[in-house]
A = this chain, B = another copy of it.
Amino acid sequence: MTEKYLYSREYKKEDSVIEVNGVKIGGKKIVVMAGPCSVEKKEIMIEIAKGIKKRGAKVLRGGAFKPRTSPYAFQGLGEKGLKYLAMARDETGLVIVSEMMDTKDVSLVEKYADIIQIGARNMQNFSLLKEAGRSEKPVLLKRGMSATLKEFLMAAEYVMKEGNHNVILCERGIRTFVQYSRNTLDLNIIPALKKETHLPVIVDPSHGTGVRDFVIPMSRAAVAAGADGLIVEVHPRPEEAISDKEQTINFKQFRKLMEEVRRVAEAVGRKA
C-alpha cells in the first residue's frame, strides 16, 4: 500500500505535461485530437489527416481494433488499419492515437501508434491496464460509462504503478436516464479531477453526447470548464463513415469547432 497515490496532487503538485513527438498535452495549449471512429481506406485516412491538420488538430485518432456491441458488426481493420495510420503520420507529422483491446496486441499497437488508447469498456480491464503500464508509449485512458472518480483514478494508478506515468484521462459520457444525448457528457468531473490529480484531462464530446449538433457547444463548454484537450470524430463525409455517423462532424464543422474553441481557450487563459 502506498501512502500517496501516483496520480495524486500529494505525489506531484504541478500539472503533468505529456510530450509526444513535440506535441505537449496538459500544457497551456489545448490539444485537439480528431479523426474517424474506425480507420478507413488508406486514401481516406490521408485525406482526413491532411484535412484536420490544416484546421489545427495535432493528433490523429482512428480505431484499428473496434469494440463493437455486436460480434457481427465491423471489428476494425486490425494491423492494416494501424499501417494506414502510420502512413498518415508519415504524410503529415501528426501524432497517432489508437485503441488497444487485448493484452496480446500491445506490441502491435505500440509499433504503430504514438499514444495507446484504453477504451471505456476496458477501463477496469486490469490486465490491459498493467500491460499498458509496461509500455513506453503514453496512455489515453477513457472513463468507463459508470465509473466513479475513484475507480477512474485507480485505473490510472494501475498503469502508473507499472512505471508508465504518462496517462491522459478522458471524459466520454456516463449512463444516466437521459435520452436526448446518447450519453451524459459529465463536465463536472473536470474540476473534480483537476483537484485530485496532476494528470491531463481531455474530453470526447462525440461519444459523450452522440449527437452531431451538440459536439461544438460541448467542446466549447469542455474547454471553458478547464479541459486540456478534445478528441473529436471527424470525417470528410460523415454519412459515408463506417461507424458513428450520427455524431461525426465534417471538415467545415471542424473548422468552426476549432475557431470557437480557440476563442474560448483564450478567454480562459489558454491557447488552441
| Chain A residues at the B interface, C-beta cutoff of 8 Å | 1-2, 67-72, 101-104, 121-122, 124-128, 130, 145-146, 148-151, 154, 157-158, 161, 174-181, 184-192, 195, 209, 211, 213-214, 217-218, 220-226, 260, 263-264, 266-268
Contacts and interface: CB of A to CB of B under 8 A. Distances in A.
A162 to B, nearest CB: 9
17 contacts: A2-B72, A67-B126, A102-B103, A103-B103, A122-B125, A146-B174, A146-B177, A148-B178, A174-B177, A177-B177, A178-B186, A180-B189, A188-B209, A191-B211, A191-B213, A218-B225, A224-B225
B157 A70 contact: yes
Contacts of A67: 124, 126
Contacts of A101: 125-127
A26 B248 CA distance: 30
Contact of A178 (B71, B128, B188, B211): B188
